[in-house]
Amino acid sequence: MLTVPEIFSLLLLAIIIVIAVFLYKKRQYQQAINQPFPQEYQTILNKRLPIYEKLPEPLRIKLHQHILCFIYTKIFIGCNDLTITDEMRVTIAAEACLLILNRPSSCYAALKWIYVYPSVFVAKQAQRNEYGIVSTKKRHLLGESWQNGKVILAWDSVESGMANFSDGQNVVLHEFAHQLDQENGSANGAPLLYTKDSYRIWSKVFSDEFSALQHSLATGHCSLIDSYGATNPAEFFAVVTEVFFERASSLKKLHPELFQLLKDYYQLDPRIWQK
């Protein structure tokens, strides 16, 4: 049986080891995110991100830092025999980090794994009908965001979203908007905001805009906001995020209050790269 001094010594040793490991990992992290941005990464951004050259220099520097943090802290997993490349990592990281470019952020701290499929993937989802009977339904998806630290993406959809950065359709922006929405523990279309008053204004504007979209669809009218946004408030937030980053000028013209809320939330005006 261990004596009290021996137990104390073991506890002290364990604490010292934990602190040493923490400091070692922290030093590794700082070295990773403070290294010069690799030239090959810049080449990828010039090739893949159409707005990269239009970003003001301060935003480029921020984007570089966020990308390094993102790549260091996330695990990319290729599915269905897909080999993950630096081009995939940098491309996905760049778009995801646009959403947190000017926001107080921990670089999606809850997110650990990014699964990438070559193309559309099939997800199984349990559904309960009005009689309480649960069945499994297969859904073909371009992307999905989970609250257990996972994002799933179809690479060909990532590529098509990057190829046209002005159509308001972008799977990476969409799924990472869901990640932001889930930061407060639930995906309900109301992400973490900065003040109590912000929630009141957000609820009013988003509720009105969500209802207006549903009414437009019901009456056969076209909308700047994709019909998928009418599914539920969480999808509405993700869809309007796509529009905000890719069609900000049109959003400002047609939905000025919604534009202003998103501008305040993201602390960014995408019109700077749409000129």
The model's pLDDT over 132-186, given as tens digits with 9 standing for 90+, comes to: 554 455 555 678 888 888 999 999 999 999 999 999 999 999 999 999 999 877 7
67, 81, 60: which is closest to 155 by C-alpha?
81
E strand or H helix that includes residue 29:
helix 4-33
Q: Which fold has domain 188-275?
A: Collagenase (Catalytic Domain) (3.40.390)
**pLDDT, position 209:** 96
Does 198 score more than 80 pLDDT?
A: yes
Q: How far apart are CA 40 and CA 189, in angstroms?
A: 37
| Per-residue model confidence (pLDDT) at position 231 | 93
d(C-alpha 187, C-alpha 194), whole Å: 17
Tell me whether residue 114 is exposed, middle or buried, using C-beta atoms within 10 angstroms of its C-beta: 0 to 12, 13 to 18, 19 or more. Answer: buried
Q: What is the pLDDT of residue 35?
A: 74
Locate the domains of the chain by residue range.
188-275
Average pLDDT, the chain: 86
- With contact defined as beta carbons under 8 Å apart, do 67 and 106 qualify? no
pLDDT for res 137: 53
d(CA 252, CA 240): 12
